[in-house]
Structure 1
């Protein structure tokens, strides 16, 4: 196998990519002292490679957590620096089109002789770690597999190849997955025949002789082998046939790219009776860098609010309203300008046409006003927020399918907002009332110190549905319409869900089925809170 000329991906046990002799430094044990200034490790390395170590780290100034990829030594030539910059540019480009690529936050070349590093969103654990702990249930494995293919499809659409797809390079949290480690990724135009790199177990056989160029189909092979590892040995038909074709020794037998593979994968899952949730929309904002990084503006900036310090359970998903058509956005903004707090039953959401309530759907539930969030920490000089910038939970992915059935996500562990967001205090208790009886409440919390909001959807104490599994759906949106959601069948509550909120301005949406799962008691009930 020809030695590659790119920084290797995370090296884990005997499946390591081969590194050039000049970079064989992995014998040196990881040292916390190698972390850049202003960061402290919060645990052992997440991955150890020949050129870099990925640490779970906290920024000592603002307390936020990152997965910090730190190079083992300073750059010695311009080629290494260009590879580093290319990896950052690929992250930024991909984050603009897909949620399913691990989120880049900031980076530094450390030109004064320090160690270069890239900060990324800390996102759960790898699929390899999941499998080592216990087998992943089939339904969850299928969702994770579809997410992996969605991320890889985004790369292929932009004419990039990953070159090291494997379970260790896919991270998962609360049943959704992201593709990570772009250290070996290249543009198709930059590939030559001497580009054999990756992990042998997942490397397409035609690459082993070092004379074949990597391609989308070699990524498809690695993805198929990864999916088989996640799903296990008992793969049902017709999924077994698809994975066999995708991992064929003959490249022509495989799907042409990850986009085609993803469509075929979803069709096969549908034939098995598994309706997969759609890919999540991409973030809306472009990450920032600190002084001395690849940011060419030269200004010193605080890192983008990609992920704040909190327990791992809540999900945080950034959503882009730009995915909507211009007409839908205009209609939404007209409504936003006119709305006064409660916007119950307004159903404008991407990928789903508004549906007419069925005859069994009761009138919209009455509700008590929610209290406003407290004033946030002083932020002088901030520009006023316009209606177009206000959080709007109606723009988040739908929790009700086109056939009027609930959309489900893998179940999450319950918890308290006071634990999910340290120092958060109550900012509202919004009741949903049907026939004079409170059936559920939205409880909201906010921490001006961490600039995070949290919410839960809780069944009323005296409700006949309390303790009985019924469908609950809560979506919470904050800054830049960064949204977190929890949709499933729960006996008591859904959440906590956590989002960034600069000044306590949030929007939430709730849906709820009855105990017989025959009708919607709440249907896309939406409100904005704490916004001036």
Structure 2
């Protein structure tokens, strides 16, 4: 990806130290903000993405949505601007590692550590959901750990507002954004993402932290997606890891295929996680398993292009024909699924 041109106005305020990450839409740099003498992260829209109207609009939406959330478990947006027309965002710099890096080093985490991280994630999601924002791409890469071990949710590049009549929706009907392995079944079927979809992704993270693997495996992204729609999740205990019964029950609730059967409040999930930390033998609060009112629209059978962020272990483009999709999903989901790398 071409390097952005940092203007004199920008360099008077920010000194670029080094690049720290990049994707299809943007590059992130570690920088020093001169006026406040602090280290920050600068996210710059890539020149290639700048030529795409959808990428520019999504980058601008990330700015608007990120500015609405103020919470210790959300990476804070500090400022924004443009480099001769190319937009950039300035975030707090997290001096630590991503949850992905932590899992790569340790494979799986001790139960108490996983519970602590999951509580932070639940608190961050509660803050986002309180202002009617759905993250839509919760995964280990987008959870950053600071040097104190506090987890913060990052990258609202695929987020959407669910406020009534809110004119901030960029995803067209039949387009699915997210990462295979962390997408909720209803999203794979083409329904709109809701807070319940984020709760499912959180359940996947909890499962992965404890077992070292995703709830389902597949030889391809297509097979993985099909399994999430068609098959129930294996219980935590089937992985051979000893966990409290309440934790097994909570994870199973978060990973329910029916979004109406999942816990409806990230705050309550955080409270349940704390209870499990403090008293593992205490039963899970019964209200967590109460059916929630369905907020997703019924699935439609449509021709769909599925733009998906593939996980690091598998980066490729796959096309699923109508015949394959119908056979695998028994009439559910889209007629055409196209998986394409789309990193925001």
1:332-352 CA-to-partner distances (Å, cap 9, x unmatched) read xxxxxxxxxxxxxxxxxxxxx
Classify the secondary structure of the residue corresponding to 1:69: strand
Of 51, 66, 75, the match for 1:91:
66
Classify the secondary structure of the residue corresponding to 2:74: coil
1:83 Cα deviation (Å)? 3.4
1:86 Cα deviation (Å)? 2.8
Assess if the C-alpha contact under 8 Å between 1:67 and 1:120 holds in 2.
Answer: yes
Of 130, 145, 153, the match for 2:102:
130
Q: Please name the residue that 1:159 is paired with.
A: 132
Q: Normalising to structure 2: TM-score of the pair?
A: 0.62
Classify the secondary structure of the residue corresponding to 2:196: helix
Classify the secondary structure of the residue corresponding to 1:249: coil
1:273 Cα deviation (Å)? 7.2
Residue 262 to residue 54, structure 1, CA distance change in 2 (3 Å): same
2:234 is the alignment partner of 1:262: no
1:141 Cα deviation (Å)? 2.3
Name stretches of at least 5 consecutive residues in structure 1 with no aligned partner. Answer: 1-27, 275-532
Assess if the C-alpha contact under 8 Å between 1:35 and 1:70 holds in 2.
Answer: no
Classify the secondary structure of the residue corresponding to 1:200: coil
Distance in 2 (CA, whole Å) between partners of 1:94 and 1:68 is: 18
1:273-292 CA-to-partner distances (Å, cap 9, x unmatched) read 79xxxxxxxxxxxxxxxxxx
Residue 86 to residue 43, structure 1, CA distance change in 2 (3 Å): same
Name stretches of at least 5 consecutive residues in structure 2 with no aligned partner. Answer: 212-238, 283-344
Assess if the C-alpha contact under 8 Å between 2:245 and 2:281 holds in 1.
Answer: no
Q: Normalising to structure 1: TM-score of the pair?
A: 0.41
How do 1:484-523 and structure 2 match up within 5 A? none
Q: Please name the residue that 1:208 is paired with.
A: 188
Higher relative contact order (CA 8 A, sep 6+): 2
1:79 Cα deviation (Å)? 5.9
Residue 199 to residue 58, structure 1, CA distance change in 2 (3 Å): same
Q: Please name the residue that 1:197 is paired with.
A: 177
Assess if the C-alpha contact under 8 Å between 1:142 and 1:231 holds in 2.
Answer: no
2:30 is the alignment partner of 1:56: yes
Assess if the C-alpha contact under 8 Å between 2:30 and 2:93 holds in 1.
Answer: yes
Of 142, 159, 162, the match for 1:169:
142
As a proportion of its length, which structure holds more helix? Answer: 2
2:154 is the alignment partner of 1:180: yes
Assess if the C-alpha contact under 8 Å between 2:120 and 2:152 holds in 1.
Answer: yes
Looking at CA atoms only, which structure, 1 or 2, has the larger radius of gyration? 1
Residue 240 to residue 194, structure 1, CA distance change in 2 (3 Å): same
- Report how many aligned residue pairs link the two structures: 239
Residue 184 to residue 63, structure 1, CA distance change in 2 (3 Å): same
1:230 Cα deviation (Å)? 2.1
Assess if the C-alpha contact under 8 Å between 1:140 and 1:175 holds in 2.
Answer: no
